Amino acid sequence: MNRIFHHRFTFTSKCAIALFTLLAFYFLWNKIAIPALLVVIVIVMMIERVLHTTYTFFLDENGVQQLVIYRGRFSKPKSIRVGDIVKVTRIKAVFGLSCYLLMQYGACHLISLQPDDEELFMAELNKRQ
């Protein structure tokens, strides 16, 4: 059975999107079109990544448990075998305002994850290993 976890919309992400929105508004107000267009593109990519990032556990056709990390429409999905995951550490950053999971898999590969419910994500990962 597939299990999907969504990305957490953190306070720092909200502040970054608000700051870039104010910057785009400032550029548009002062009739500086090219930088405004570039900032609007960055805002769209940030919102796309925050809203459409998912972490999916599933069993592939060979019977191997997989974790697929999908970071929105503008990036390629990353597939990791659950058996290759060595260690998952909870890290607090930005003076404790945000926290994420740092996953080590394979030969010294690291990736950061921010699932909406970390405890359920860790329980599902332990169950599938």
pLDDT in tens, 103-112: 999 888 999 9
**Which one-letter DSSP state was computed for residue 115?**
B
Instruction: Assign 60 a pLDDT band (cuts: 50, 70, 90).
Output: confident
Whether pLDDT at 120 is above 90: yes
pLDDT in tens, 66-97: 999 999 888 999 999 998 999 999 998 877 77
Could you give the number of structural domains in the chain? 1
List the CATH number of the domain containing 95: 2.30.29.30
Model pTM?
0.84
Domain extent at residue 62: 3-128
Other beta carbons within 10 Å of 25: 13
Q: Are 8 and 114 in contact (CB under 8 A)?
A: yes
Q: Among candidates 109, 110, 107, 105, which has minimal Cα distance to 125?
A: 105
